[in-house]
Structure 1
């Protein structure tokens, strides 16, 4: 195979964004050959914008069986990511899914099992893993320079969304339409980076979610979560969609100092000796280890984070390059968000791995009570800005 022939499922906002850089030749070794969407209007627009050579399909299944593609980029709404990925893998296609991996880990686990049983390359669009700030943070922690991680804190409240945003589509801010709120829509990248940068495994969590706080919506839009890790460290994650101005500050404290990402900079407060050694030998009463504040140099942030993930995925197919964002890792961040909701719904601690059946049961209760009901549209499916529903 000299080039990967790609298809896109769901040619809405995200799908069109991927189609644009693919048709501009920004991904070496990949060519867009087909798109699938339930809306004929969207398909016609795709041909007009991206070329008459595109094969169009009203059914993803038809595209999977067409023989026109080697791999597929899935850009459907959240609930459909695992379903479409499983079908594509069974059809013998390489798969790259948009984030999040899904809405609930039980379904995502089935997707991961299908990927493991295939010989295809399975990736997820965790484009923030290409951000030099978080890549360098992970490098410092992995190298041992920070020492053992003792505490993590992320305040990510700069996701401001007005009521008019939620009113743009009846599916927004509903359990049946989106399967969640800030955790499933805005925070998947941060939840992934939270566990990816540290490499820590959560042990248990207690969380407090507010639903429809200051907004007329069903889902969570204010979350405070406390997690304990297997190594004894602890962490706090705070997020919302109604604070203005918001904050985005990620802080990791370790045995040899503290790392902070904020305002586009990475700062390392580096101890000259480990806290453990200082505490063992210091006899002066009041005192603390000598600390240097270091502005850590990182590569210049560049546009095209999405296309870099797609390039890495195409290279993995053609050259065997290691994936930066393996699809099977999508379950990690999702389990954190599922745990936050489950802890709130049960008003109790949640142990890891979570009770996936219980979460699914609680989620289905809210979907049944949801104000959003999928109404038939073109081809018997709902059409929205995201593409296939």
Structure 2
């Protein structure tokens, strides 16, 4: 059987990564079919790298005449839903880069278009392929951990200096990027949170805007999450700390899990804390606890290729998707809720998230954005909305 042809919309940082994976044979059932970018310099670069691959300066032309089975949308965040919906209208299967969009209202519309099309829809949540997170998800689902009491994820190793924020006009603005560290660096982790632990029911937050940098969007975030079953969570992230930390801690009836420095430690109680508490009579009693290092496979060096291969297998053989595109709204809802709580001072009801209200408040931020006045000190070849 001939390979599926993949069209790439946006030949920036991520677009070139995807093209490289395809042309290096890392996706056995797909090949590079076409490239689109609105920047002539990027199309010239594509021509030099892949002279035999058709090139387009207009996405609709690629959708019509590129001869592709699948497209991946790797352009700035606001445009993801528009170009995904357009691809579905031309009968194409679609993978979108993260995030699914900037605000939930547009992603709801995108998901509806995907369902109406009947085509396969995926999202580039490549960190779902990481063995550590897969094992945590399984342990939560099969009851190995018992009830989850508290989750804390501190991920502040996203350091980005002022030069980064000044490197392109679309960066770090409400009008062109739609936010700061939540929408740029953190979509993978917010997705992993809900993928492993489920969606929180309520969120409140404290967020700083331009605390460390001359930017209008968030660069320091602390969010408090509540679940109806009693689980609580704290999510901390920043682009202003160096060297920063990446530590995930899960407190549960059966002990705790700590993920840090490429190790996963399960401090495992020999009996559930709740069961221990029912029978213990010692005033300082503690359940016996074993320190267990859980072996995990190193993360793949080409996780994006794994998502594309899985997508191909789903098209060809019906294999379940690792990252269905419809699920992109979940992590984005968490992100939007964190913003909304910080703007209003309210605890946000996630299950009944006010999509229209959030969008109206975001439009106010966009109207007052300084993006068009931004001076780009150094042009960097990256319009893909990547890290």
Q: Same fold (TM over 0.5)?
A: yes
Pairwise CA distance, 1:372: 1.1
Q: Which residue of 2 aligns with 1:378?
A: none
Q: Which residue of 1 aligns with 2:5?
A: 5
SS in 1 for 2:77: coil
Distance 1:191 1:316 in 2: 25
Q: Is the 8 A contact 1:126 1:325 kept in 2?
A: yes
Pairwise CA distance, 1:118: 2.3
Distance 1:348 1:98 in 2: 31
Pairwise CA distance, 1:384: 6.0
Q: Which residue of 2 aligns with 1:167?
A: 166
Pairwise CA distance, 1:308: 0.6
Q: Which residue of 1 aligns with 2:185?
A: 186
Pairwise CA distance, 1:302: 2.6
Deviations 1:57-95 (A, max 9, x none): 111011111151111011000001111111111211010
Pairwise CA distance, 1:135: 1.2
Is structure 2 residue 44 aligned with structure 1 residue 47? no
Distance 1:131 1:170 in 2: 33
Is structure 2 residue 260 aligned with structure 1 residue 262? yes
Query: TM-score scaled by structure 1?
Result: 0.95
Distance 2:279 2:111 in 1: 49
Pairwise CA distance, 1:336: 0.6
SS in 2 for 1:288: coil
SS in 2 for 1:38: coil
Distance 1:21 1:98 in 2: 15
Pairwise CA distance, 1:244: 1.3
Distance 1:6 1:33 in 2: 5
Alignment map for 1:376-387 (pairs within 5 Å): 385-386=382-383
Q: Which residue of 2 aligns with 1:88?
A: 87
Pairwise CA distance, 1:345: 0.5
Q: Which moved more, 1:64-73 or 1:97-106?
A: 64-73
Q: Which residue of 2 aligns with 1:252?
A: 250
User: Where does structure 1 differ by over 2 angstroms across 4 or more consecutive aligned residues?
Assistant: none
Q: Is the 8 A contact 2:54 2:66 kept in 1?
A: no
Pairwise CA distance, 1:276: 1.4
Pairwise CA distance, 1:189: 0.7
Distance 2:298 2:380 in 1: 39
Pairwise CA distance, 1:119: 2.0
Distance 2:118 2:170 in 1: 36
Q: Which residue of 1 aligns with 2:330?
A: 332
Deviations 1:2-53 (A, max 9, x none): 421110000011101110110112101101110111112211211211x222
Distance 1:283 1:180 in 2: 53
Pairwise CA distance, 1:264: 0.5
Pairwise CA distance, 1:238: 0.6
Pairwise CA distance, 1:170: 2.1
Pairwise CA distance, 1:361: 0.7
Q: Which residue of 2 aligns with 1:277?
A: 275
Q: Is the 8 A contact 1:22 1:30 kept in 2?
A: yes
Q: Is the 8 A contact 1:37 1:387 kept in 2?
A: no
Q: Is the 8 A contact 2:268 2:292 kept in 1?
A: yes
In structure 1, the gaps of 5 or more residues are 376-381
Pairwise CA distance, 1:301: 2.6
Q: Which residue of 1 aligns with 2:77?
A: 78
In structure 2, the gaps of 5 or more residues are none
SS in 2 for 1:180: coil
Alignment map for 1:218-229 (pairs within 5 Å): 218-229=216-227
Query: TM-score scaled by structure 2?
Result: 0.95
Q: Which residue of 2 aligns with 1:243?
A: 241
| Alignment equivalent of 1:306, drawn from 288, 304, 307 | 304
SS in 2 for 1:178: coil
Q: Which residue of 2 aligns with 1:62?
A: 61
Pairwise CA distance, 1:374: 9.3
Q: Is the 8 A contact 1:14 1:386 kept in 2?
A: no
